[in-house]
A and B are shown apart, each in its own frame.
Chain A
Amino acid sequence: MRTWLALYRRELALAWGRGGGPLTALAFFLGVTTLLPLAVGSEPQRLAAVAPGSAWLALALASLLSLERLFERDYEDGALDLLALGSTPLELVGLAKVAGQWTANGLPLALCAPIAAVALGAQPYLAPLMVLTALAGGLAFACVGGIGAALALGARRGGLLVAVIVLPLFAPPVIFGAGAIEALRDGLRWEPGLAFLAAYALGALALAPFAMAAAVRNALS
């Protein structure tokens, strides 16, 4: 546990280190949501209709940004060998990386998502559900993204490959997350959407460590 926490703290330090990781993701997220009115037109009614959906789209894209480096930097400089030879199993190494990714990227993005949605014209009463779904969605993005990042290890232009592997798997959280918010807005039941989203996130959390460990072992050999 002590070693796991040491690794988790290191992951956070690396994410917040030079290049400002999460800040870049936040800036990207806000940039995408700012571009939206320029693309679809700035009539408030039209914007309000697509606000939750576009906030979710931007969230999914911003979650992609730092995935490439998740395993790649440790693979390139030999730290992954070291992590593989610790007394902590590789599955937990992957879990620490995903947890670090979620805290460093998912959390700030989840707090930012409702601001962007409201700025686009969504009703403020949607904000709490937006945070909640973005938190669960961020966990799903981090887990699925971790698998993609581990699978792309050693490939040239790994970042693009990660995006191609991972984007289809981002579909369910986007459907359920944006769906729950739209249901609340239209006065329908929003709980099922949130429940499906949470189930997807927990399923990904349960599977991801094993998939990441297998992919990392394969990349090291």
Chain B
Amino acid sequence: MIAAVSAEGLSIARGERVLFERLSFSVAAGEALALTGANGAGKTSLLRAIAGLIRPRAGEIRFSGADGELEPEEARGQGLHLLGHFDGLKPHRTAWEELSFQAVWAGGDEASAREAARALELAPLLDLEVRKLSAGQRRRLALARLIAAPRPVWLLDEPLAPLDAARRARAGELMAEHLNGGGLIVAAVHDPLPVSARTLEIGSAG
């Protein structure tokens, strides 16, 4: 179980362009970190670097558990959810087929997927094909995966953008529950998160 994520002297470049340099931060269990910054500052790249999909140009990202440092590969494979701009939902499969697959893939099961669908008020939509869902409904379907397969680290990229006010509040409650249960959240946002969070501005130095 991941209890903290930290980065030290992190530099990330995309191609020739350096997005940011010497960034350090740490997030512990129960904490949320809100990444802010202009478009293109590198918020998404930072999330993908934490997820291990991008190799940083310099610096290191560490995961630690209750008793010491964890092997990054292993920690990522079992302890991390990434919710990006693209939700990986196949347009021609039903919401339930996609949710149950994603839940099982991330370590949950069908029962937990049903539970999560209930928590996000998705029950009436489950038989619809994904292409018939609105942007907000798709986002809730993607969020349901995080509930269905409990993993300590949530990396969220603009998680609430397509949601209406009531659903934002509901998502806020789920985030608060996640934090109370010892989880941690790193989210790239333009609007404030609905839970109390530290703010880290990306790219302000450059």
Contacts and interface: CB of A to CB of B under 8 A. Distances in A.
Contacts of B97: 10, 13
A154 interface: no
Contacts of A132: none
Interface of B: 48, 51-55, 76-78, 80-82, 84-93, 97, 101-102, 104-107
A13 B81 contact: no
A76 B84 CA distance: 12
B92 A85 contact: no
Nearest to B130: A77
Nearest to A7: B105
A14 B98 CA distance: 11
Contacts of B89: 77, 79
A81 B90 contact: no
Interface magnitude class on chain A: 20 to 34
A77 B77 contact: no
Nearest to A221: B54
Interface of A: 2-3, 6-7, 10, 13-14, 17-18, 73-74, 76-89, 220-221
A13 B90 CA distance: 11
B88 A78 contact: yes
Given A77-B90, A86-B77, A10 B101 contact: yes
Contact of A78 (B52, B81, B86): B86
24 contacts: A6-B104, A6-B105, A7-B105, A10-B101, A13-B93, A17-B92, A17-B93, A18-B92, A77-B89, A78-B85, A78-B86, A78-B88, A79-B90, A80-B88, A81-B48, A81-B84, A82-B102, A83-B105, A85-B77, A85-B82, A86-B77, A87-B77, A220-B53, A220-B54
A10 B93 CA distance: 10
B154 to A, nearest CB: 12
